[in-house]
Chains A and B, each alone.
Chain A
């Protein structure tokens, strides 16, 4: 046993009010414990139900390091189960998505399972007669995850059978998901194409923290957004030339500190929070012809204005996703190792809304979050430098002190100056809670 296993006190000691120990980012044992505890005790995003529109459709992914399957069953519901044959352990599916028909069939010995995971048939079953198979784990089929919730199309799962309820875990933070979905005149989203997949040689939490880090854009992105602004200004343009969509997307990254201070940050209990309480880098996009009228028709004018008046920037759903309501983007920070994270960036179509909105969203995704994106290059360089730098023995602690107030209570929702690091502290507060929840005391 290492220093941290089964020793909740040693995990708690890594988190101080204004700093966190580097082991949360670089220690392999801490990472293993995150997979075992944090990702089992929390509600983790699995996928969107539009990825499995038809009966028999499946989507294979991971919760933490656990391979899971999300499938549309014959009853129309979406089930989440472990992607592991109960017989010999073979992964049932190896591709990322597809349609399995009425049942899953293990390619090794042809054990078959209904699309809700229940055992359907075993070849030459007489070989198990009087062996007590019916009392074995194997007879129960593909192991289900602890709990599943389909929240307006977004599928979340908790691996542990016991733990916080969905509503208790997310609370008022669901208002950000609601706002993203309500932006469809039909109240429905559909995934639009495959995600960007971007490999990062750094810890997953660096990415989550970056989502509400409002003091880096004007610095780290000077090379991309700053160059874009200068280049646009230097071009010979006829009077009254409108800014192209790409400039609307990228230029706000260069907004001054005051802009980010004034935009505000809201934190919710359990590690959730968002930037852009009052306005955000998504506030000043050009109106899309016809869209507002559709929204008024669907929701009434007052409600339409309220929905579109929200311009939340990044909403972090602890532990490992971020959504952008105004542009219908969702990013998953998939932990692979203490120093390795896969980032998948999905976009969604607002069902019933003009295509131009999706066009802007697709542009945002490729300009900001692709492995070929200049903004992405800026960020990844910083994460990887941090991952390397943390191995320096000069200091062992990482500072998260900006706008700290003594006695701050993370169980209370709060709205603060947009440059506070309170949301990072909020995440570590939740991290400590869900890491130690099932860990027990020192032995």
Chain B
């Protein structure tokens, strides 16, 4: 039963053909076989959001599917999104606002933010918090992440916020 089966898929724009054990999760496949370790695992049961990737353009938990299920699909990870600069503005906003501390949740947060902003270009803070409801972060308290998504939405809409120079966030916000 440990025998490997062939799969072919596209990962970050590159064709990948591998033999895998059917029980290998997509997350483990990406991390172990392809060394795309930007995708993390925090619970292996779909409760933390650290392992989110795009499957055919939609955010999914890579721990909640087996690699064999992705045969013929397009998978994109934080590495791919970074490479093609699809989330450069989100990453910049996260950096400006310090919307990450340990960084372990960050890939999942970025994937959620990317998908959320593609569905809803002008989300309210409430909608953003709803969108993030499956992404666990133990470090930040979420506020800077929400701030970052708000600022990206505004700047994408052409309302370039004077991006709060971090100094001004120093006191109250």
Is this pair of chains taken from one and the same complex?
Answer: no
- List the interface of chain A (C-beta within 8 A of B): none
- List the interface of chain B (C-beta within 8 A of A): none
